[in-house]
A and B are shown apart, each in its own frame.
Chain A
Amino acid sequence: MSAQPAVAPVALQRMVPPEEAARADFYALLASLFVGPPAQELIAHLAAARPIEGERALARAWLGLTQASAAMDSDAAAIEYDELFAGVGKARVSIFAGYYTGAPARDHPRIRIQAALAGLGLVRDPRATEPEDHLAGLFEVMRVLVAGVPGRPAASLADQKRFFEEHVGPGATKFFAALAVFPQANYYRHAAGVGAAFMALESESFLLV
């Protein structure tokens, strides 16, 4: 008969404060909205989401997205997504950070992002097919840094700030500004509004780090 261990190892998971969890949720939402056409379930949940109280720009943009979601379905969203970000040939609105921040042949943003990810101990999922500077991927990285994942705690605010300011904020802010005024953007204009308001909040909050 083999002896059972008297104690089992315990892995402690740090609690994420509500405001940090909300940041991670925003990044998850933005990643989901821009990695591909949104699923009907996501649109339905957005349509039923409660208003956000507080800072006016984010609350107003959130209200716009939830109201637009109530009038949207996944088929129409898929058509708009393809029209804006995929399309045949050149996309109407680039979804790559490098497009907005300058992408020289040498030291391309993707190379710098790869180095930053390695420094943070993160690796890409081998199933990922999009380049590292795809904004949905960068939002996903921020979500992981903010909330952590099983087996990995959240990154320090200093690391979050560095990655945001070097690889996410500048490109994402220009992307959302371009998308918000693009004539063919309908549903995604509202997604851009939320993204722009959230990026502004993030930029300002990192000044307090």
Chain B
Amino acid sequence: MDIPYTVEVRPDTGLTNGKIGIWLFLASEVMLFGALFASYILIRTGAPTWPRGDTILNVPLATFNTIVLISSSVTMVMAWASLKRNRFGTFRMYMATTVLLGGVFLVVKYFEYSHKFELGLFPSTNNFLAIYFTLTGLHMLHVIGGMAVNAYFWGPGAKLWKTNPEWFTNRVEHSGLFWHFVDLVWIFLFPTLYLL
């Protein structure tokens, strides 16, 4: 049986099922990160003293990672636009770049984490580090998840382009929405944790 409303829109919602599905998922993600941001506010406002992020964390590395993630958002949307222009080769180039940039982000994060551990700074050290590792760790898991899906669409999942290009284009758009959300979360995490 075919999956319904993958390309044509549902008359009652005016959307494909995939589109409404990914947005409902992102709504749940907003609440997940929202709960952690609320915890951060609670812990910070309740603490007698709170360190500035830049006294503990590496701002130049995080700034570099912000640029990397924003760039990956652009390559992601360009990958989708390439499919809209019927340029599959260009799509693969942009999608590969998106996955690679995600990899660069993770490598930088690995060095950041390693340095902290070498200095004896762990989540159990203090509240600042606890919330830092929790928020950035959860965000990193999202980067890994997004990379896995994007890599699938770059590789084996791209077979769909030959049989149903419109459906494939929609699927790439949906994975793109998730990837942009991951970028959006980092846009708020960066100043909150590193600069304030």
Tell whether A pairs with B: no
Residues of A within 8 A of B (CB): none
Which B residues are within 8 Å of any A CB, using their own CB? none
